[in-house]
Amino acid sequence: MSLPSFNVSLNTLVVLISLLWFLNIISEAAPTYRFHYCSNETTFTPNSTYQSNLNLLLSSLSSNATNQSGFYNTTVGQNPSNIVYGLFLCRGDVTTEVCHDCVATAIRNRVQQNCSMGKVAVIWYDECMLRYSNQSFFSIMDEDPRQYVSDNQSMPEVERFNKLLATMIDDLVTQATSAQPNAKKFATKEANFSCIANAVQPGMKSIHFTGSYHHHHHLQLQPGSVTRTKNGKSQTSLVTVIAIVTPIAVSVLLLSMLYCCHSRKRRKKYKAKEENAANEITTLESLIFDLAKLKAATNKFSDDNKLGKGGFGEVYKGTLPDGQEIAVKRLSRSSRQGVEEFKNEVAVLAKLQHRNLVRLLGFCLEGEEKLLVYEYVPNKSLDYFLFVVTCLQNMQYMDDTL
């Protein structure tokens, strides 16, 4: 079965690259939108200084959404009427890539959420929170507005549960706020509520300006993040494995296909060279004359058989045993032409076919003798037999002197 053509391979590469691009897109899930708040009490006019400052602030937030802390706040502007305050906060268990994608999505979608002209806005996703305002809110506890999402499941021992929950959240606040400046503003804790543990369902989420907290009977980490096994060792999720392995596998496949195509071309080229070399060898072998046979045909290169002398040797007339008349050019022993050069010229002469050129019948290369055997044409001048070889010898001489 023959190998596929390079065109087919190129089409396959395009398909594989498209597949790789698609897998990279779906490797990270889109941020999950939850809620937004946009104040229409204070708005800015298009192309105003405030809008320019807001655009600079949002660009700065997006650029810094790849830092390891998952948190960043900044201010743009000097005039109190045009100053903009902003921040983002990503969940502590998401990767920097997910954090950046969430912040960028929040910035991009604020127009769809009717927050495009308001000076105050806050947008919540499961993975991050984005907020900006014309008033400073840094390090200020702000509980309104707030949004509750519950599952409507009945909760036995509500008072006891709420007390345990309040204590746990207070501890979490202390733990999260006491983190180092570059650490994530994130904390988790597990509380034992064993007597009703089986009855507790995934419960309420509370979202307010300052941040958000979720409480469940277990913590559900972001897909794609590092989880913990029972032995306490970290293991990479399936999505992360696919995102890492797929590009490597596709790259190896592409390189393998390119290597196969290149190797196939090299094999074809090498095979063609071998065939040409074999044809030339076959041609040369069929043109070899025996020195003794040529001596007998020319009466041992007798002066009586000499037709003349050229710049590179003498020409003798001879007769083969079958009666065919030949002209033998005996190259001068002082010629600087080597054996391989001589064979190359014989191969060239054997291929020449022209009505004004005498036909080469063969050659002889024994010891120091270099002989060319031509078809004898009566009533032709000596130049007719010497023209081609003399030209080739002159070309060789010019090459040697350059």
- Listing DSSP states for 218-230 in one string gives S--PPTTS-EE-T
* 3-state SS class at 329: strand
For the chain, give the mean pLDDT.
73
Q: In the 8-state DSSP scheme, what is residue 2? A: P
Q: Give which of 391, 366, 365, 362 is closest to 374, Cα–Cα.
A: 362
Q: pTM (2 decimals)?
A: 0.45
Q: For residues 348-384, b (16+ Cβ closer than 10 Å) or e, as one string?
A: ebbeeeeeeebebbbbbbeeeebbbbbebeeeeeeee
Q: How far is CA 224 from CA 95, 185, 238, 272, in A?
A: 8, 20, 7, 54
pLDDT (tens digit, 9 = 90+) per residue, 22-68? 555 444 568 888 888 887 778 888 889 999 999 999 999 999 988 88
CA angle 281, 284, 288 (to 5 degrees): 135
Is 299 a residue whose pLDDT tops 90?
Answer: yes
pLDDT (tens digit, 9 = 90+) per residue, 304-345? 999 888 767 788 999 999 999 999 988 877 666 666 667 777
Residue 40 has φ and ψ, to the nearest 5°, of -95, 5
The per-residue pLDDT for 231 is 41
Give the H or E element holding residue 158. helix 158-177
pLDDT-derived band at 182 (thresholds 50, 70, 90) equals confident
Fold held by 291-401:
Phosphorylase Kinase; domain 1 (3.30.200)
CA angle 34, 191, 143 (to 5 degrees): 40
Residue 250 has φ and ψ, to the nearest 5°, of -65, -40
* 3-state SS class at 338: coil
Residue 271 identity: K
Is 390 a residue whose pLDDT tops 90?
Answer: no
Average pLDDT over residues 238-265: 78
pLDDT (tens digit, 9 = 90+) per residue, 202-212? 444 445 555 55
Q: Tally the C-alpha atoms within 13 A of residue 36's C-alpha that lie toward its C-beta.
A: 22
From the candidate CATH numbers 3.90.1530.10, 3.30.430.20, 2.40.50.140, 3.20.20.80, the one assigned to the domain spanning 30-222: 3.30.430.20
Q: Annotated binding residue at 309?
A: no
Residue ranges of the chain assigned to CATH 3.30.200.20: 291-401
CA angle 333, 334, 336 (to 5 degrees): 105
Q: Give which of 125, 122, 97 is closest to 24, Cα–Cα.
A: 97
Tell me if 363 sits within 8 A of 288, measured CB to CB. yes
pLDDT (tens digit, 9 = 90+) per residue, 68-98? 888 899 999 989 889 999 999 998 888 899 9
Tell me if 394 sits within 8 A of 358, measured CB to CB. no
